[in-house]
Chains A and B, each alone.
Chain A
């Protein structure tokens, strides 16, 4: 630091603490503002990430492949060959982490007492593991062992509705490949529990080969769900897959779940708006404090000029004061926000609003997530806008006429 720099810094630092109470009050306001920005961003980021994770885990994956008309009419007729050569080639992509093929058709389930409509999903348990929520959500009984497993896994809420339980038998009825009604008895081997009630009530899972037998098909599926190593590559890989398999329908998670995509985008854009609102309130405090400090020291600024300091130095002094103020506020605000997020542990429980949360594609525990992008955004908003707003008081101080300023009482 050169001699003028050290003088500038030293004067700015000491002037900052000249009126301790005022400095501490505005520091408190900055710390509170920064805390509010980061803490709220962490909450929104947590919600956004959870919506995304839930969307991916709830059987969607990053990319799905279907027969061309399946999404409009998800029935057994709209299925495709799993061992198609072109498809097999295109799935051999180093960016793809995991693939799960499913037979997914509408069905009716009946217990001894109740019946309801739902989706039957035939899975290969080994491939499905890790790509969807199922294995980790088993709360009673067991997960499926192999594609030929003839047991069935149902949701806990569905079991309540059907007034049945683990170990009991149910009957599943659907249409086979010839559009004839087909049915089969299954023993309930597992119950799963998720935070989304619709999943628990709307899906049952059995082995892929067992469901093939029920529907009278072999080597054909209605859905391939794909998990990538990097979610940011989803559009590129989906486009490649679509190009290589023009007869099939390749869709990304955001195309399959537009509401989730909308919610994620909404949270993303709301960050900046929220930061600007908080800063607006804080900015007035910063400008007011600095202006008061400048007015109080009018004579001093006149003295600086009479001693030979140039207007730029005077402007710099007020500006450095504000940068120091902002830096301390940012440091403390970041620290408090980080401690607050730590204190929330795994997140806050909003199960009291479970139905409302489900409508917003959210589960009952909202985690707080701090990512560097949000930290950089919050800190940048404060430091850049703070420096800009402090330019006015600094400019005002530098424009004083020394002969007038030096005699100001």
Chain B
């Protein structure tokens, strides 16, 4: 198995006036292709910060972050945007769909940014929405969908162009247990079917149970890194 993500001695320090806050301390981590990983830990443990660093949404104070062979920590804004567009999918806690676009248009947007043809976009977005169980709801705006349905659209959007890595920040936090379970099942199926690596930050025990590998963070440090069945 090849390494998709590699973090070497990653540190992140936020400065709030004269006070320094250590968000991450000496993180060393290798994640292999096709993994389904859960980053867990209490609030403030650095889960979201680590996800943001890996996704290039924030930069480390020191250390190396390599995604699919590319040094994320050394990239400029434009190169990071290209990396995110082609290699990384995001799922957020608050769904973050574009409210003025329909479910299909939200999914198509990523393909449109990649320059796919109109027919291909339509065909492919309908297929992926069917796959996540939203057949017949393609033309609904986010405001016309339930929380669980919106998160499915967000998952569809994240995986539609088959990125090598999907980063999900507390994706089940706003869902009830049934919807959360369905979503996790869906994400794991997608990871297996499309051979994508998922890194999910959460403190939801249900997510931890479904992960192939569980990484626990505490005060910005990895305190546990175990494979699960």
Contacts and interface: CB of A to CB of B under 8 A. Distances in A.
Given A15-B100, A402-B57, A406-B92, A311 B77 contact: yes
A306 B55 contact: yes
A303 B98 contact: yes
Given A401-B58, A403-B58, A406-B92, A307 B109 contact: yes
Interface string B96-114: 1011110000000110110
Contact of A18 (B58, B90, B100): B100
A273 interface: no
Contact of B96 (A3, A11, A299): A299
B66 interface: no
A222 interface: no
A16 to B, nearest CB: 9
Interface string A1-28: 0011011000100110010000000000
B85 interface: yes
Report, as a range, how many residues of chain B touch the other chain: 20 to 34
A11 B99 CA distance: 10
Contacts of B58: 401-403
A300 interface: yes
Given A306-B90, A308-B82, A308-B84, A406 B96 contact: yes
Given A402-B57, A403-B52, A403-B58, A308 B98 contact: no
Interface size class of A (residues with CB under 8 A): 20 to 34
A306 B112 CA distance: 15
B212 to A, nearest CB: 25
A307 B108 CA distance: 12
Q: Tell me which of B82, B83, B94 has the highest count of chain A C-beta atoms within 10 A of its own C-beta.
A: B94
Interface string B51-79: 01001011000000000000000000110
Contacts of A15: 100
Contact of A307 (B52, B78, B84, B99): B84
A335 interface: no
B81 A305 contact: yes
Nearest to A407: B48
Contact of A14 (B82, B94, B101): B101
Contacts of B48: 407
A407 B77 CA distance: 19
A310 interface: yes
A309 interface: yes
A81 B101 CA distance: 85
B81 A308 contact: yes
B86 interface: yes
A309 B80 CA distance: 10
A11 B81 contact: no
Nearest to B121: A3
B90 A307 contact: yes
B94 A299 contact: yes
A131 B153 CA distance: 78
Name the residue in A15, A18, A310 with the highest tally of chain B Cβ atoms < 10 Å from its Cβ. A310
B40 to A, nearest CB: 19
B115 interface: yes
Given A7-B109, A403-B52, A305 B57 contact: yes
A126 B165 CA distance: 93
Interface string B117-129: 0000000000000
B76 to A, nearest CB: 10
Given A308-B81, A309-B81, A311-B77, A303 B96 contact: yes
B1 to A, nearest CB: 26
Contacts of B98: 11, 300, 303
Nearest to B89: A307
A308 B57 contact: no
Contact of A308 (B86, B96, B101): B86
A54 B202 CA distance: 83
Given A14-B100, A15-B100, A307 B110 contact: yes
B52 A308 contact: no
B57 A406 contact: yes
A307 B111 CA distance: 11
B85 A307 contact: yes
Nearest to B55: A306
A326 to B, nearest CB: 20
A14 B101 CA distance: 8
Contacts of A403: 52, 57-58
A147 to B, nearest CB: 79
Contacts of A311: 77, 81
B55 A308 contact: no
A100 B86 CA distance: 82
Contacts of B81: 305, 308-311
A376 B182 CA distance: 60
Nearest to A7: B112
A7 B58 CA distance: 26
Contact of B115 (A3, A299, A305, A407): A3
Contacts of A4: 112-113
Interface of B: 48, 52, 55, 57-58, 77-78, 81-86, 88, 90, 92, 94, 96, 98-101, 109-110, 112-113, 115-116, 157
Interface of A: 3-4, 6-7, 11, 14-15, 18, 299-300, 302-303, 305-311, 401-403, 406-407
Interface pairs A-B: 5 shortest CB-CB: A308-B85, A14-B100, A403-B58, A308-B84, A403-B57
Given A303-B92, A308-B88, 17 more contacts: A14-B100, A14-B101, A299-B94, A300-B96, A305-B57, A305-B81, A305-B84, A307-B84, A307-B90, A307-B113, A307-B157, A308-B85, A309-B113, A401-B57, A401-B58, A402-B57, A403-B57
